[in-house]
Amino acid sequence: MKLSTLIKNTEDFFSERRLLYIILTGILIIDLTILVFSSGYYGGADTAGHYLSSHWAFAHPAYLLNHWSKPIFTLLSAPFAAVGFKTFQLFNILFGIATGYLSYLVAKELKMKSPLLAIVICCFTPIFMISLFSGLTEILFAFVAILASYLLIKERYAWGAVVVSFLPLIRYEAVVLLPVYAIFLINKKHYREILLMLTGMVIYSLLGALAGKNILWLFTEFPHQNTVGVYGKGKFFHYILRSPGFFGIPNEIFFVTGLVAGLSLYLREKMEYSKEFLLVVLPFLTYFFAHTVSWWLGIGGSQGQNRYMAAIVPFMAVMATRGLYLFAKMFLILTKQEWVRVFALIIGFISVFHIPFAVQNYPITPGPTEKTIRQATDWIKQEGLNNVKFHYNDPTVVLQLNATPFDTTECERFVATPANPAKGLENGELLIYDTYFTEMAGGNLNELASCSDLELLKVFEPEVPVDVYRKPYKIAVFKKIEPNPFVIQKNSSLLKGEGIIFCTIKNFDFDSTTLQTEAKHIKPMGKNGSSCILLKESRDFCLKQNFELDSLKFVHPFELQVSMSILPTEPEKKLRYVVEATSNNKQIAYKSYDITFTEQNTSDEWVNREFRIAVPEIANQKNVRIKTYIWNNRKGRYLIDDYTISYRIQ
């Protein structure tokens, strides 16, 4: 039998309907497997916050009208969250797969070849797939947005307009898409349906009024009114430069190819392409540009996060479907062999499928901030303090302590008062500080530690340092006490790490002490004319060091302290410091820390960097060797001086 005949018979057997069921079932099995074996989740504190709102929505209906929690998301996810955290994640998985299915329907309605590819591209786009295992609202937004486009393509204008009206109740930025859908309705001369795009807003405004809120509560209670500048801002091309990471390079190639092909179709058949342009291309570009400008100007509560782009993945998937088909068809034109086209299609399929597994870690493990909070909450339980009322800002604390967020006898949000930081706390109650949310709420760690009526009990830090708003991330547990001036000194000592002693293993100033393996890279370009190491763009690694632990006496968990002076000639780039631990020649730990630089660091300014990295994995291990090195993963150019490695002995 000829190969072309075999391929033809195979295509006949795998009908579009059969393939549809196979693909959807396969994706569901993959996602459920990841869900079951994941000990962590994506989305950090936002996922925890949304879960708490949805979990308690039926017991505390105020959450159903909570602006931050997103009313529609809370309403739909509440039955899943009521069962537990895993079923709450299952909500996003099911809606994510449904979003992929709708992408397929849209591609089919637009008469694209091989529309099933849209499901695969949508569900295996990295940022979309990782968001399935979260409690974030982007997945539901993506579902409702592509559903609205599908209904309008099917000429169900009234239903499409009603669905569009609920988008702002899922994510605020949906307001930038309302004019896009209005333009489509105007183009189709369905003017009355434009009024239906206010349906969701009107319904929830009235529901809020009935619940005792201001009828304009959707505007007056907007949670990011006073956060302009709080989250910072960035470069205009922030999302464009980072898009290969969250969309995937193959997807971007197919997307651009499909977009160009679509625009050429527009030049030939304007009416034929108008639906696709107004309901697929324009929503994608509008949303992408809106977030680009928001982050660039530092407005609208934007934090420049990749996850925002998960909301428009189905639009990208539809456009990329045409691109992937054309990619395969190109080989058919060149070779005139059908089997070559099918083979190219399979290669394209595999390239899309493997991306999330190549750039993300599955199953998902807890992130460094969640691990640090877990250390703090476990300590609180061990100390018998879990029955004490606590004040918090990060909702992850409430989730891990299994508290009821609206029960003020168990816990309360901490509201910082500059004149009296401990105001609102009763003696014996706990304050759980975190560098992220508590700092945003106005609670400064040093100021809290300077209060005579707040005793610092314990400070927790990630195993590998994490910077938040250019500050090392920490969790600090305070207890409210009667005013005691001596407690301030105790707090200060604990914060400074007094009593903690490090012993130097390696120290290089590259003048009196040097490193033989780096001899040819030593240059007289250091501080005040001293010698230093030149790390060029062409070098991947430098300052490699190896040492055994068996001869060292250290406290558990094993902890390294690293310090160095760096002159970054390209401050926008970063270095990565790596620590590897092996036992009997088998790797037991791999830690990496990104050494970053701020916009204030110029190319002629030396920067001092000091950080600690804990390696608890070496406990009870024998024949342990530690390897450290600097990885020039961004191919920058640096000068490095005064390099020291120490380990904790007390």
- Mean pLDDT for the stretch of residues 623-628: 93
502-648 carries CATH number 2.60.120: yes
Q: Which residues contact 357 (CB under 8 A, 6 or more apart)?
A: none
Cβ atoms of 266 and 277 closer than 8 Å? yes
Distance between CA atoms of 237 and 288, rounded to whole angstroms?
11
Distance between CA atoms of 27 and 121, rounded to whole angstroms?
11
Distance between CA atoms of 542 and 547, rounded to whole angstroms?
16
The two structure tokens encoding residue 499: 């009593």
Distance between CA atoms of 563 and 79, rounded to whole angstroms?
51
- Mean pLDDT for the stretch of residues 110-119: 90
Distance between CA atoms of 641 and 511, rounded to whole angstroms?
10
- Mean pLDDT for the stretch of residues 592-619: 83
Distance between CA atoms of 511 and 301, rounded to whole angstroms?
49
Tell me which residue of 493, 356, 286 sits closest to 42, measured CA to CA. 356
Cβ atoms of 199 and 165 closer than 8 Å? yes
Which range is most confident: 78-92, 216-230, 267-281, 555-569?
78-92
The two structure tokens encoding residue 275: 């639906």
Q: Taking all residues of the chain, what is their mean pLDDT, rounded to a whole number?
A: 89
The per-residue pLDDT for 92 is 98
* Secondary-structure class of domain 368-493 per CATH: alpha beta
- The model's pLDDT over 292-326, given as tens digits with 9 standing for 90+, comes to 998 888 777 777 888 999 999 999 999 999 888 88
581 DSSP assignment: E
- 411-413 and 390-392 strand pairing: parallel
- The model's pLDDT over 485-498, given as tens digits with 9 standing for 90+, comes to 899 999 998 888 87
Q: Coil, strand, or helix at residue 483?
A: coil
Kindly give the residue spans of alpha helices, DSSP state H, lying in 41-137. Answer: 44-55, 71-81, 85-109, 117-123, 126-131
The per-residue pLDDT for 335 is 77
Treating both helix axes as pointing N-terminal to C-terminal, what angle do 313-335 and 249-268 enclose, rounded to 10 degrees? 80
What is the identity of the amino acid at 447? E
The per-residue pLDDT for 602 is 65
The per-residue pLDDT for 5 is 56
The per-residue pLDDT for 599 is 60
Q: How far apart are the first and last CA of the chain?
A: 75
The model's confidence at residue 75, banded by pLDDT at 50, 70 and 90, is very high
The per-residue pLDDT for 255 is 87
The per-residue pLDDT for 640 is 93
- The model's pLDDT over 8-63, given as tens digits with 9 standing for 90+, comes to 555 555 678 889 999 999 999 999 999 999 999 999 999 999 999 999 999 999 99
- The model's pLDDT over 196-205, given as tens digits with 9 standing for 90+, comes to 999 999 999 9
* pLDDT-above-70 percentage for the chain: 94
What is the domain partition of the chain in residue ranges?
16-359, 368-493, 502-648
**Which range has the worst mean pLDDT, 115-124, 155-164, 434-443, 461-470?**
461-470
Distance between CA atoms of 53 and 395, rounded to whole angstroms?
10
The per-residue pLDDT for 231 is 66
pLDDT of 109 above 60: yes
Distance between CA atoms of 351 and 247, rounded to whole angstroms?
12
**Which range has the worst mean pLDDT, 124-133, 165-174, 421-430, 507-516?**
507-516
Identify the residue with better confidence: 113 or 432. 432
Tokens 């949304």 identify what position? 50
Identify the residue with better confidence: 332 or 243. 243
Cβ atoms of 417 and 438 closer than 8 Å? no
Identify the residue with better confidence: 465 or 163. 163
The per-residue pLDDT for 241 is 87
The per-residue pLDDT for 327 is 80
Tell me which residue of 601, 547, 549 sits closest to 575, measured CA to CA. 601
Distance between CA atoms of 219 and 233, rounded to whole angstroms?
24
Residue 504: φ, ψ to 5°: -75, 130
Q: How many CA atoms lie within 13 A of 351 on its CB side?
A: 18
- Mean pLDDT for the stretch of residues 360-367: 92
- Whether omega for the bond prior to residue 557 falls within 30 degrees of 0, making it cis, is yes
Distance between CA atoms of 440 and 446, rounded to whole angstroms?
14
Task: Give the global pTM.
Answer: 0.88
Tell me which residue of 218, 225, 240 sits closest to 301, measured CA to CA. 225
